[in-house]
Amino acid sequence: MTAPFAGSFSIPVFIFVSLLLGFFFGFFLDRAGFSSAMKLTAQFYFRDFAVLKVMFTAIIVAMVGIGYLASLGWLDMGQVFVPATLLWPQLVGGLLLGAGFIVGGYCPGTSVVAAATGKLDALFFIVGIFAGIFLFGVTVPGFEGFNASGSLGALTLPQWLNLNTGIVIFAVVVVAVGAFWAAEMSEGPWKTFARTYGRTVEGDKQL
């Protein structure tokens, strides 16, 4: 049997596995300090790049794992869902999400984790998410054309770059290593300042 094999699960087992994975995903986000808005927004002030490091690590681990399993024939890439690329609406949506992240201090996932730990600001953020979903739903008929613009189909990086998948994976790993190094260099002055004046970002380990 090749993955993905979720279709072979019964509905109760599928729900149980989904809840279990969701629980541990939230647990480890909290352990990483991502239930703190101060910890998350510190990235935008170039003080703490934990978000970039954790998320980029997750991306390259998943990418390397998927590529390796596919090369062994254990993963049928034809069964992996790839969402359609709609360039312009996704670009605008990404900018809006980033702006909301900076202003509110959370992304959708981390807001749920923070709310589960009892943070009231995260609850307000979640209310804002649902309000935004409702607003989008009632206004989308007015910009249907834009919402479907820039369609490139189900596009992957190897297809877009017209390169071998292994080369693309290697290139992304190199970019990740470079980003980690740059993040460490950027964090250095802040850590020196924090040690000197005893200031830390909430959720950080003792510097």
- From CA 36, how far away is CA 42, in angstroms rounded? 10
The pLDDT of residue 203 is 46
pLDDT tens-place string over residues 145-187: 999 899 988 888 888 899 998 999 999 999 999 999 988 888 7
The pLDDT of residue 192 is 64
Q: Where are the domains of the chain?
A: 34-81+156-207, 83-153
Using omega within 30 degrees of 0 as the cis cutoff, is the peptide bond preceding 158 cis? no
Which residues does the chain have with pLDDT short of 50? 1, 201-207
The pLDDT of residue 172 is 93
The pLDDT of residue 126 is 94
Least Cα distance to 166 among 54, 71, 45 occurs for 71
The pLDDT of residue 190 is 63
Average confidence score pLDDT of the chain:
85
The pLDDT of residue 10 is 81
pLDDT tens-place string over residues 180-199: 998 888 877 666 665 566 55
